[in-house]
């Protein structure tokens, strides 16, 4: 059996929509993208959504909209996908790493000691679709007058205190629509906010500072981060099925949880008051040696498992920002023991069972 990392669901409706867009000739950014923005805002419950060509661009637009620039510092968890820190570098600012806790998300207790008079923002990441501790991060941001950016690339549809992420506590939230994500447009992303000014600025940055019209007058500096109508058409179809996707991921996660608990294998802890969307399932083995053996055995048996991720402070181009050679014990421990397993929008339960069976077999030889 082959078990894939991603199970995107591109059905008849997506194909029909793409054909219609192609035939219409209106294939760049246009009315379908506006519609996708409106439908995303309505799903999330927030005031504004601006779509972008990927989540990384969405983050750059958010940082620029907040006027984060050279000499500024932005606190990021060291345990995240590299884009979270790369975007800080892209605007000329400095990433400052903070450790995480057993939820794999930024440890709010570790954030405060990282704040200096250059700090401008904190980026909280919803790792693997698990919302970070937004309530506590908001308190810190309010006290120190910092912006709270939520990197929800992996968590569209997740809820925190019964509200969708993107509509609670953060100043601005970004999403990704990469093929592995909860909703996909191939590549794609979005910025969500309830703040009119951040929305206006993000909109300008995504579209060359141009608000339309025939005279090519540009209100300010901007870039081209636009999503096409071909992609937005796909996104509109996908969004209609999001609850079905989350439900499949949740039931796959449940399957992993009960089987792994019986095998004595740990996994990502939940943040309180959340509905995670289980972008992937983070299983935690006894130690690195056992993890490496099991990972190899899963790969040998056709399972596309991964290790998400090597912490940022250990990545060659980012280690220079860990000036004091600080240790981040929790992130390092999680990264040494984790195997990231697929949960997939359309991943069948039998594939999950096959992964579990292979873990069980491998554990017999890797105590």
Ligand X SMILES: Cc1ncc(COP(=O)(O)O)c(C=O)c1O
C-beta of 51 vs 260, nearer to ligand X: 51
Instruction: Please give the torsion angle defined by the CA atoms of residues 160, 80, 249 and 290, in that order, rounded to the nearest 10 degrees.
Output: -130
Helix or strand or coil: residue 361?
helix
C-beta of 55 vs 222, nearer to ligand X: 55
Q: How many residues bind ligand X (CB under 6 A)?
A: 14
Here's the x/- map for ligand X, 174-213, by CB under 6 A: it reads as --x-x----------x------------------------
Q: Give min distance, CB of 130 to ligand X, in A.
A: 11
**164 bridge partner residues:** 159
Which one of 97-105, 146-154, 191-199, 355-363 is the stretch in contact with ligand X (CB under 6 A)?
Answer: 146-154
Determine, following the binding rule CB under 6 A, whether residue 81 of this chain makes contact with ligand X.
Answer: yes
Q: Got the DSSP string for 176-233?
A: E--TTSSS--SS-EEEEES-HHHHHHHHHHHBTTB--SSS--BSS---B-PPPHHHHH
Which one of 15-23, 79-87, 257-265, 349-357 is the stretch in contact with ligand X (CB under 6 A)?
Answer: 79-87
- Nearest-angstrom CA–CA distance, 9 and 237: 10
Q: Give min distance, CB of 189 to ligand X, in A.
A: 5
Determine, following the binding rule CB under 6 A, whether residue 78 of this chain makes contact with ligand X.
Answer: no
Helix or strand or coil: residue 315?
coil
Helix or strand or coil: residue 280?
strand
Among 151, 159, 195, 229, binds ligand X (CB under 6 A): 151
Which one of 42-50, 78-86, 106-114, 296-304 is the stretch in contact with ligand X (CB under 6 A)?
Answer: 78-86
Rounded to 10°, the helix 229-240/242-262 angle is 60
Supply φ then ψ for residue 17, to 5 degrees: -60, -45
Here's the x/- map for ligand X, 93-132, by CB under 6 A: it reads as --------------------------------x-------
Q: Give min distance, CB of 181 to ligand X, in A.
A: 7
> Considering only CA atoms, which of 208, 201, 193, 171 is closest in space to residue 61?
201
C-beta of 178 vs 249, nearer to ligand X: 178
Kind of pairing between the strands at 274-275 and 189-193: unpaired
Q: Got the DSSP string for 91-119?
A: TT-EEEEE-B-TTSSB-HHHHGGG--TTE
First-last CA distance in the chain: 25
Here's the x/- map for ligand X, 33-72, by CB under 6 A: it reads as ---------------------xxx----------------
Determine, following the binding rule CB under 6 A, whether residue 84 of this chain makes contact with ligand X.
Answer: yes
Binding site for ligand X (CB under 6 A): 54-56, 80-81, 83-84, 125, 151, 153-154, 176, 178, 189
């Amino acid at each position: 059996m082959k078990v894939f990392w991603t199970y995107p669901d591109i059905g008849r409706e997506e194909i029909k929509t793409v054909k219609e867009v192609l035939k219409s000739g209106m294939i760049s950014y246009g009315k379908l993208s506006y519609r996708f923005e409106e439908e995303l805002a309505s799903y999330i419950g927030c005031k504004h959504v601006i779509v972008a060509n990927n989540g990384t661009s969405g983050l750059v637009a958010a940082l620029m909209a907040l006027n984060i620039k050279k000499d500024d510092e932005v606190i990021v968890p060291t345990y995240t996908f590299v884009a979270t820190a790369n975007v800080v570098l892209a605007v000329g600012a400095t990433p400052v790493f903070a450790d995480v806790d057993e939820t794999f998300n930024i440890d709010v207790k570790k954030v405060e000691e990282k704040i200096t008079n250059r700090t401008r923002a904190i980026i909280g990441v919803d790792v693997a679709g698990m919302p970070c501790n937004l309530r506590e991060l908001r308190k810190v941001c309010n006290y120190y007058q910092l912006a709270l950016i939520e990197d929800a690339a992996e968590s569209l549809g997740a809820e925190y205190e019964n509200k969708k992420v993107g509509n609670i506590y953060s100043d601005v939230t970004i999403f990704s629509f990469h093929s592995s994500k909860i909703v996909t447009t191939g590549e794609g992303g979005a910025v969500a906010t309830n703040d009119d000014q951040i929305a206006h600025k993000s909109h300008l940055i995504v579209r060359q500072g141009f608000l339309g019209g025939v005279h090519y007058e540009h209100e300010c500096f901007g870039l081209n981060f636009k999503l096409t109508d071909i992609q937005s058409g796909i996104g509109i179809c996908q969004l209609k099925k999001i609850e079905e996707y989350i439900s499949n991921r949740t039931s796959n996660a449940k399957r992993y949880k009960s089987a792994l608990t019986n095998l004595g294998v740990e996994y990502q802890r939940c943040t309180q008051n959340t509905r995670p969307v289980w972008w992937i399932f983070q299983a935690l083995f006894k130690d690195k040696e056992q993890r490496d053996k099991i990972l190899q055995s899963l790969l040998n048996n056709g399972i596309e498992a991964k290790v998400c991720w090597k912490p940022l402070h250990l990545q060659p181009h980012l280690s220079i920002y860990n000036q004091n050679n600080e240790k981040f014990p929790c992130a390092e421990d999680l990264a040494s023991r984790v195997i990231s397993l697929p949960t997939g929008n359309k991943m069948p339960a039998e594939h999950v069972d096959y992964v579990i069976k292979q873990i069980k077999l491998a554990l017999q030889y890797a105590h």
